[in-house]
A and B are shown apart, each in its own frame.
Chain A
Amino acid sequence: MTMEAIRYEDGSISYPGHPRGPGGAEPAETIDLSEYTAEVVTWTTSTATPPGVREPNTMAIVEFDVEGESVRALGQVTTDDVETGDEVQPVHVDELREPGAGIREPDSQDWDGYRFEPV
């Protein structure tokens, strides 16, 4: 299991990856963000969640520093006790929400991924 980000030819990194990066840069390599820790930029606890999603659902936007290049990710948090500036680490979860409970076709995407756990 990896939390796969893409580094582009211009050195920038995005999560998730795209076929082209900034300025049309092509993907150069993958980076596993699960090997890094990140800092919470902002967070929310959502109490009105869609079908198949845990309730409440605390999520955060976090920022990784990969050898001086920053990259952000959004994801669920393992606890409701989180603050801006907290250091977190990615923890793999087999199923982030129930596939098929919502409108999206279950086979169209992956449902496992990483929650952020305060270090």
Chain B
Amino acid sequence: MERVAIIGASMTQFGQREDEWILDLLAEAGLECLEDAGVDAADVEHLYVSNMASGEFEGQTGVPNALAHDIDAVPAYTQRVDQTSSSGGAGIYAAWQSVASGASDMTLLVGGEKMTHRTTGEATDVIASLTHPAEYKHGVTLPSFAGLTARHYLEKFDAPRESLAKVAVKNHRNGVDNPNAQFRKEIDEETALESPIVADPLRLYDFCPITDGSAALMLCPESVAEEYADEYVVVSGIDGATDTHVVHEREDPTVMGGVVESGKGAYEMSGRDPEDVDVAELHDMFTILEFLQMEGLGFAEQGEAWKLVEDGYTERDGELPINTSGGLKSKGHPLGASGVAQGVEIYEQLMGEAGPRQVDADVGLCCNVGGFGNCVITTIMEAAQ
């Protein structure tokens, strides 16, 4: 099977985009990606749009077809990919499948979400609507799952509360150098530890913000990539998996089975193991998730990820830089865009285009988490020429 290449990437400014709605955001990233890849819209055969809830947030459905028209990609085949917060990663998987299967020789993936016109309570409720009725009626939210899990993790592994704050501090520091990040502001540990409680023991700075934004990637067979570029990136491994819908039914609340399973699949396909990964983008919707993914993906033993964070192992100049983009924490989390934006960061790192965020990397990994670990996509990318 021919390898699948990525030949272009783009992302819009993430944050509060007052005058832009979902179709504006998708078109902005889509057009920029076409330009970055040097591909004519007429040559796009498949167009995938990762989006969780444009109907619920904005009352706008049918966004893939709308985008195809707006960027003049008609008659490209279009499809919306919704996998809640992991819609972006699922979009990478769908785009990869479209190329790997031979169905498309040029696939544009655009992920986006428009959220900030809603109140925090309303946006939280749209996201919480993914939960089981038995959970939803208790008023459970994704942040409250994080609070429940963080307390259990800290108590079970005797980890200091400060270690979670260090994740927020690191990712905010990384975000300063990302011009498209929602927050480009360093914070100190004290600020994180004294911020208002959101879901005890987690506080405001343990959570990502509500965000508008869009990101895009262009995928094609490696033989086609060679016609467009001397250097490109290949998707060497990708897999997706699920865990229980009802979160409390998991045997061990500190293990995300979807992370473990999708990671295994991606490592197996790529022939890589955790030691080969030079840079990773993990789904830090909540600080505790960075620990759970580090452990699920084999970067740390169970219950010990916090020690690596304390030791600076995951800093930009550490052994395994994690979330050089600033992560969801600082860059922002426009649901459908986030997994695609993870891919954009890894693409830029592998192409040597990450500017002040650049690290030495030939192999990169993205882990995109939907729900509270309900659906997970892990993608391994490698530099190629």
Contact = CB atoms under 8 A, between A and B. Distances in A.
25 contacts: A16-B132, A16-B133, A16-B134, A42-B148, A42-B152, A45-B200, A46-B139, A47-B196, A48-B120, A48-B198, A50-B139, A52-B139, A57-B139, A59-B140, A72-B249, A74-B138, A74-B247, A96-B137, A102-B128, A104-B136, A108-B133, A109-B133, A109-B137, A110-B133, A113-B134
Interface string A29-61: 000000000000111111111111110010111
A49 B121 CA distance: 6
Contacts of A59: 138-140, 144, 148
A51 B155 contact: no
Given A74-B135, A103-B56, A50 B199 contact: no
B147 interface: yes
Interface of A: 14-16, 41-54, 57, 59-61, 72-76, 84, 96-97, 102-104, 108-111, 113
Question: Which of B133, B139, B144, B249 is packed against the most chain A CB atoms within 10 Å?
Answer: B139
Contacts of A54: 139
B129 A103 contact: yes
Contacts of B139: 46, 49-50, 52-54, 57, 59, 76, 96-97
A46 B138 contact: no
B121 A48 contact: yes
B125 A50 contact: yes
Contacts of A41: 152, 253
B86 interface: no
Contacts, number: 124
Nearest to B197: A47
A103 B138 CA distance: 14
Interface in B95-146: 120-122, 124-126, 128-129, 132-141, 143-144
A97 B125 CA distance: 12
Report, nearest first, the 7 A-B pairs whose CB atoms are least far apart. Answer: A44-B147, A53-B139, A50-B125, A109-B133, A42-B152, A16-B134, A46-B144
Interface in B170-219: 196-202
A59 B246 CA distance: 15
Interface string B226-269: 00000000000000000000111100010000000000000000
A65 to B, nearest CB: 15
A43 B155 CA distance: 11
B272 interface: no
Contact of A15 (B126, B134, B199): B134
B152 A48 contact: no
Contacts of A74: 134-135, 138, 140, 148, 247-248
A5 B210 CA distance: 36
A16 to B, nearest CB: 4
Contacts of B143: 46, 48
B349 interface: no
Given A48-B124, A48-B198, 13 more contacts: A16-B133, A43-B151, A45-B147, A46-B139, A46-B198, A47-B198, A49-B121, A50-B124, A61-B253, A74-B138, A76-B138, A103-B122, A108-B133
A50 B147 CA distance: 16
Most B CB within 10 A of own CB, among A50, A104, A108, A110: A50
A47 B199 contact: yes
Given A16-B132, A96-B139, A110-B137, A44 B199 contact: yes
Contacts of A96: 137-139
B16 to A, nearest CB: 18
B132 A45 contact: no
Q: Which of A48, A52, A54, A110 has the most CB of B within 10 A?
A: A48
B133 A42 contact: no
A97 B138 contact: yes
Contacts of A16: 132-134, 246
